[in-house]
């Protein structure tokens, strides 16, 4: 297993390098990082030229990339062109908020999808199965931003207009009340549910098909022929084998969940990495964008390796050599 992990880490290095090169080129092509400064009439062309020289933007793109790579490898992520803050401090200040939002939404997703997926598989072709299946297809086809807007209208705008209790739609807490655990919990409900809705719909279909596949295998028929009760067969054999592939889905979803909160965080003014990426993209803030890109890339690689390890630990039949 140790040799496998080392081999995977070595294989990941050129992949991450390619991602960084392509990402750097695309970000460079999106616009001028100093475009906002040119609007300020108080700055002369010489001032703009000095800024370009200060940030190294007057050099060819390959040189800029090599300078960025050297600094990144030595732990210097640079400074934001606009906030002037160190990018490393900026990312790790906003990262816990994204982890909170993604964690709550993923707990919602796993709890709801596991229960509903199993029940719909056990009660195949029942009215409950048809209803949940229809809702799942609607959820899969629904864009998260549209669902967020509908939830804001139904659970926030209209109840507030009617004088009823409503869910907050912006920030992590009410500034008038102050930051506290009840405030954060109250504010995270709506964005977390919006983020988990589409994932839950997909997971239900995945878990349902996985359970149904296990229920029709030979070992289940053998267990029934021996007189074992259905709940014993399901609990001891079917459930464990059916949920094993879910480890792969979870492992591959974690990094995409961290990077996929961009629209939701922007919509609900949630101060996380997604909103940070959105702001940096609007300003072409290269140091921030590259730091976020590399963070998600490394997380994806590590998550894939951890998933393989957990899968091998859960299923003795799997061995990496």
Domains contained in the chain, CATH given: 93-271 (1.10.3720.10)
Which pLDDT band holds residue 231 (cuts at 50, 70, 90)? confident
Q: What's the pLDDT at 158? A: 92
The β-bridge partners of 79 are 86
The residue that leads in pLDDT, 247 or 151, is 151
Q: Are 285 and 81 in contact (CB under 8 A)?
A: yes
- The residue written with tokens 């709940």 in the block is 231
pLDDT at 51: 82
* d(C-alpha 97, C-alpha 74), whole Å: 27
- Per residue in 43-84, pLDDT (tens digit) is 777 878 888 888 888 888 899 999 999 999 888 888 888 888
Query: In 216-238, which residue ranges form alpha helices assigned H by DSSP?
Result: 218-225, 230-233
Task: Tell me what the pLDDT averaged over the chain comes to.
Answer: 85
Residue 18, pLDDT score: 93
Model confidence over 77-136: pLDDT tens digits? Answer: 888 888 888 999 988 898 899 889 988 998 999 899 999 999 999 888 899 999 999 999
Q: Collapsing DSSP states into helix, strand and coil, what is residue 279?
A: helix
pLDDT band per the 50, 70, 90 thresholds, residue 260: low
pLDDT band at 265 (very low <50, low <70, confident <90, very high): confident
Q: What pLDDT, on the 0 to 100 scale, is given for residue 214?
A: 87
Cα–Cα distance for residue pair 120/186, rounded to 1 Å: 31
Does 292 score more than 70 pLDDT? yes
What is the spatial distance between Cα 305 and Cα 235, in angstroms, rounded to a whole number?
29
Collect all residues with Cβ–Cβ distance below 8 Å to 158 and sequence separation of at least 6: none
- Which tokens go with 183? 């405030």
Average pLDDT over residues 149-155: 92
Output the pTM of the full model.
0.84
Model pLDDT, residue 321: 59
Q: How far apart are CA 73 and CA 76, in angstroms?
A: 7
């Amino acid at each position: 297993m140790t040799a496998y992990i080392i081999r995977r880490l070595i294989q990941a290095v050129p992949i991450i390098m390619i991602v960084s090169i392509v990402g750097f080129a695309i970000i460079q092509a999106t616009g001028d990082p100093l475009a906002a400064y040119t609007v300020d009439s108080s700055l002369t062309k010489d001032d703009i030229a000095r800024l370009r020289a200060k940030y190294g933007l007057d050099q060819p793109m390959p040189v800029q990339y090599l300078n960025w790579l050297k600094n990144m490898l030595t732990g210097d992520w640079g400074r934001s062109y606009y906030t002037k803050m160190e990018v490393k401090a900026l990312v790790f200040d906003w990262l816990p908020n994204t982890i909170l939002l993604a964690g709550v939404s993923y707990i919602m997703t796993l709890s709801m999808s596991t229960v509903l997926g199993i029940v719909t598989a056990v009660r195949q072709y029942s009215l409950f199965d048809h209803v949940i299946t229809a809702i799942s297809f609607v959820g899969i086809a629904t864009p998260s931003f549209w669902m967020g807007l509908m939830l804001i209208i139904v659970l926030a705008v209209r109840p507030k207009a009617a004088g009823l209790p409503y869910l907050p739609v912006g920030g992590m807490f009410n500034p008038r009340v102050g930051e506290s655990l009840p405030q954060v919990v109250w504010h995270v409900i709506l964005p977390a549910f919006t983020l988990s809705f589409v994932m839950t719909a997909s997971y239900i279909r995945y878990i349902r098909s996985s359970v149904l596949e296990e229920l029709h295998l030979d070992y289940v028929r053998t267990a029934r022929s021996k007189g074992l009760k259905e709940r014993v067969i399901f609990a001891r054999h079917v459930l464990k084998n059916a949920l094993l592939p879910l480890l792969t889905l979870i492992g591959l979803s974690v990094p995409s969940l961290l990077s996929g909160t961009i629209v939701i965080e922007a919509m609900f003014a949630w101060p996380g990495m997604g909103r940070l990426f959105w702001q940096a993209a609007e300003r072409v803030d290269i140091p921030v964008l590259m730091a976020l890109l590399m963070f998600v890339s490394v997380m994806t690689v590590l998550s894939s390796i951890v998933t393989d390890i957990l899968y091998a630990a859960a299923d003795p039949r799997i061995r990496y050599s």
